[in-house]
Amino acid sequence: MVYLLYGLKDFQINEEIKNLTKNQNDMNISRYDLNNTPLKDAIDDAETYSMFAETKTVIVENASMFTTLTSKDSDIVENYLNNINKSTNLIFTAHTEKIDTRKKITKLIKKVGIVKEFNEEISPLNLTKNLLKDYDINEKTINLFLDRVGNNPLIIQNEINKIKIYKNKDKNITAEDIINLTNKNIDIDIFKLIDYIVQKNKEKAIELYYEMLKINEEPIKIIVILANQFRIMYQSKELLKKGYSEKDIASILKIHPYRVKLAIQNSRNYSSKTLLEYLNNLADIDIGIKTGKLNKDLALELFILK
162-218 pLDDT per residue, tens: 999 988 788 899 999 998 888 777 666 777 888 788 777 888 888 888 878 777 778
Domain limits, the chain:
2-117, 124-181, 186-305
- Could you tell me the pTM of the whole model? 0.56
Return mean pLDDT, the chain: 87
Distance CA 287, CA 292 (A): 8
Q: How far is CA 29 from the centre of its chain?
A: 23
CATH superfamily of 2-117: P-loop containing nucleotide triphosphate hydrolases (3.40.50.300)
Q: How far is CA 195 from the centre of its chain?
A: 23
21-48 pLDDT per residue, tens: 988 888 889 999 998 899 999 999 999 9
Whole-angstrom CA distances from 3 to 22, 24, 78, 81, 106 are 15, 16, 14, 11, 11
In 3D, which of 227, 231, 221 has the Cα closest to residue 296?
221
Distance CA 276, CA 230 (A): 8
Q: How far is CA 252 from the centre of its chain?
A: 16
Distance CA 134, CA 144 (A): 19
Q: Which residues contact 195 (CB under 8 A, 6 or more apart)?
A: 201
Domains 2-117 and 186-305 share a fold: no
Enter the CATH code of domain 186-305.
1.20.272.10
CB 263 within 8 A of CB 215: no
Distance CA 20, CA 29 (A): 11
